[in-house]
Amino acid sequence: MITTELKNARIKLRLSQSELARRCGLTQAQVSLIERGKVDPHVSNLVQMGRVLNMELVLVPKSMVGLVQGLQVQEPAQPAYTLDE
């Protein structure tokens, strides 16, 4: 869900709801409502929040969703051992 992704990105960047709100021109209460899925935010607010959080809101044709999901960067797997061991 997009609201969960926004919240996770905010936490990862160690931003408070108040700081995110300030940078987006929103109130802390609006950010809280958006993150909890209690309101349907304006697209412009989602775009602004995403940009502050180093994300972009992108519309993808349904037929292309699988391909786009396959492009997501995965964390490199940790080897079970190294040659130094």
DSSP H helices in 1-85: 2-12, 17-24, 28-35, 43-52, 65-70
Predicted confidence at residue 72, as pLDDT, reads 73
Question: How is residue 52 written in tokens?
Answer: 């502050």
Question: How is residue 28 written in tokens?
Answer: 């802390």
Task: Tell me how far the alpha carbon of residue 80 is from its chain's centroid.
Answer: 30
Question: How is residue 2 written in tokens?
Answer: 């997009």
Predicted confidence at residue 12, as pLDDT, reads 96
The domain segmentation of the chain, as residue ranges, is 2-60
The pLDDT tens digits for 71-84 are: 876 666 666 666 66
The CATH class given to the 2-60 domain equals: mainly alpha
Task: Tell me how far the alpha carbon of residue 9 is from its chain's centroid.
Answer: 5
The pLDDT tens digits for 1-36 are: 889 999 999 999 999 999 999 999 999 999 999 999
pTM of the model: 0.72
